[in-house]
Structure 1
Amino acid sequence: MRTQVAVIGAGPAGLLLSYLLHLEGIDAVVLETRDREYVRQRVRAGVCEQPTVELLREIGLGARLDVEGLPHEGFSLRFDRADHRIALTELTGKSITVYGQQEIVKDLIDAHEARGLPVEFEVSGVELSGVDTEHPVVRYRDADGVAHTLECDVIAGCDGFHGVSRPSIPDSVLKTFTRDYPFAWLGVLARTPPSDEELIYAHHERGFALHSMRSPEITRLYLQVDPAEDLANWSDDRIWSELTTRLAVDGDFVLREGPILDKGITPMRSFVAEPMRHGRLFLAGDAAHIVPPTGAKGMNLAVADVRVLSRALKALLKGDPAPAESYSDTCLRRVWRAEHFSWFMTTMLHTDPDADGFARRLQLSQLRYTASSRAAATSLAENYVGLPFA
């Protein structure tokens, strides 16, 4: 078997890259270890930056997003039992759209199937070789266990933090930077209308809470918990009680409760691997970097990566190596900006169990300054809606 680009991973990064390459007339094969329905249904991020939305519209994948997506022109920082609105559109002229990552993945899978673009699910034993040559190879077994050798010009590693792509780069080449946080998120998906029209980021002495949504009927909510917390300790009643406490505000806000459809605990970390390229192997998305979800940057960074990568690969395959050589540096400038913003939002809003009184008062001071200063609010809003693509 032969293709121009072997794409490892059928998440938003891999599928979007494959589709962008297709639009440029470049052949690609996507390999994914999970089954098709799992990939279509797994719940992930839900905030799309304005540049992400504009790109999806530009390539003809914005129809369902425009019908079902929820545009937001602001969100609330909630502390001191009061809401402090960050007016995104007023401050920046831009907005964000709530549209689940799994919905984008569904749109991309449907687009691949409509055009007959190859996506192989349930593959196993994926191995990369020759990545430092001009003719790398991917070996794998298909869903029936049949062994395949896929020859290609380029490999795009879009297979996430635990995938095989990043470990295929020698330790002598790769530098990694990690920050682990002393808290995790307990996330729940509930069948109930959202309790507010916009997202609420709440700072509370018992821990952070987030009120979000996926549709007019489905609410997404999060609670800060200890990373070692056992999910079995959190009954539905306890979750609703804790959310009610942390989201409490002076006024008429009432948290709407409903059946919890899904819940899980996610640890929080910051991670960056440099460089994002070795030979003919290019990393994109979570394979190269992880951000804590507080800044809503993970999926949007993946989109930004593959936008740069698709253009770099087009040039490379036509004989111009310069964009490919600068791919890592170009992406990392945006990655580190997003890492800083995500760290800023995380440390400003979460309750650090090891922080002393001095640190907690500094944290509250930062919240009050951000909510009261137009300059500070504008900086937050500018980063939140998404900086322009490189």
Structure 2
Amino acid sequence: MSVRNENTTVVIVGSGVAGLALGNFLLRSGIDCVVLERRSRQYVEQRQRAGVIDFRAARMFRQWGLADRVLGGVPVEPVLNFRIDGRTRPYTYLADDNGEGRFCPQQVLVHNLIDVFVSDGGDLRFEAEEVTPENITGLRPRVRYRDNAGVSRTINSETPRTSCRP
């Protein structure tokens, strides 16, 4: 089991919606980052999660130029119908300023965020075990983990931090 060292600017732990959205925003801003995920890609893309993209999230993805690639589908009426005790009960959620509410199941959103991140050159590593952030409030934070081949790896901060705030 060898140890390999490398450098990057940001390490994101977890490939959920927040980690993948952040990774995509950093990538689009020209900031190097690595996303580490404990599970396999297949598991992450198929796990069931609850969630709806509200108008603020849809607007944010549009502002970053990612809406068409990430949200998929077409704009829909901002109403979800639930059946409770045999009765349909509509739930109206807020549409954005342009009336472009979107419904995108969270596992579809995660799948699309992965596809966009990887196709745009992002560094996403699945099956990263024993992820351990170290010295996160110091001048040279780092993350240690074991990859899917059992190799221990260390990712160091590319440049020293000028502040010790986490």
What is the TM-score of this pair, normalised by structure 2? 0.78
Higher helix share: 1
CA–CA distance in structure 1, aligned partners of residues 153 and 53 of structure 2: 37
| Partner residue, 1:56 | 61
- Find out whether 1:279 has 2:165 as its counterpart: yes
CA–CA distance in structure 1, aligned partners of residues 103 and 92 of structure 2: 16
CA–CA distance in structure 1, aligned partners of residues 11 and 93 of structure 2: 39
| Partner residue, 1:3 | 8
Q: How does 1:8-27 map to 2 (within 5 A)?
A: 8-27=13-32
Q: Is the contact made by 1:140 and 1:149 (CA closer than 8 Å) also made in structure 2?
A: yes
Q: Is the contact made by 1:125 and 1:141 (CA closer than 8 Å) also made in structure 2?
A: yes
Q: How does 1:131-280 map to 2 (within 5 A)?
A: 131-152=136-157, 279-280=165-166
Alignment deviations for residues 176-209 of structure 1 (CA, whole Å, 9 cap, x no partner): xxxxxxxxxxxxxxxxxxxxxxxxxxxxxxxxxx
| Partner residue, 1:162 | none
Please, which runs of 5 or more residues in structure 2 have no aligned partner?
1-5
Residue identity matched to 2:48? V
Residue identity matched to 1:18? G
Structure 1 position 87, deviation (Å): 5.0
Supply the RMSD in Å over aligned alpha carbons.
3.0
Question: Could you tell me which of 17, 20, 39 is aligned with 1:34?
Answer: 39
CA–CA distance in structure 2, aligned partners of residues 28 and 103 of structure 1: 23
Q: How does 1:92-107 map to 2 (within 5 A)?
A: 94=99, 96-107=101-112
Identity percentage of aligned residues: 33
CA–CA distance in structure 2, aligned partners of residues 87 and 115 of structure 1: 35
Alignment deviations for residues 80-132 of structure 1 (CA, whole Å, 9 cap, x no partner): 97656555569x87564221111111111111221221111101111111112
| Partner residue, 1:117 | 122
Q: Is the contact made by 1:74 and 1:86 (CA closer than 8 Å) also made in structure 2?
A: yes
Structure 1 position 37, deviation (Å): 1.0
Structure 1 position 147, deviation (Å): 0.7
Q: Is the contact made by 2:7 and 2:155 (CA closer than 8 Å) also made in structure 1?
A: yes
Please, which runs of 5 or more residues in structure 1 have no aligned partner?
155-277, 281-390
Max Rg structure = 1
Decide whether aligned partners of structure 1 residues 84 and 101 sit closer, same or farther in structure 2, where only a CA change above 3 A counts: closer
Q: Secondary structure at the match of 1:56?
A: helix
Structure 1 position 57, deviation (Å): 2.6
Q: Secondary structure at the match of 1:43?
A: coil
CA–CA distance in structure 2, aligned partners of residues 16 and 147 of structure 1: 27
Q: Is the contact made by 2:70 and 2:112 (CA closer than 8 Å) also made in structure 1?
A: no
Q: Secondary structure at the match of 2:42?
A: helix
Q: Secondary structure at the match of 1:39?
A: helix
Structure 1 position 4, deviation (Å): 0.6
What is the TM-score of this pair, normalised by structure 1? 0.36
Alignment deviations for residues 272-300 of structure 1 (CA, whole Å, 9 cap, x no partner): xxxxxx933xxxxxxxxxxxxxxxxxxxx
Structure 1 position 27, deviation (Å): 0.7
Q: Is the contact made by 2:75 and 2:100 (CA closer than 8 Å) also made in structure 1?
A: no
CA–CA distance in structure 1, aligned partners of residues 70 and 38 of structure 2: 27
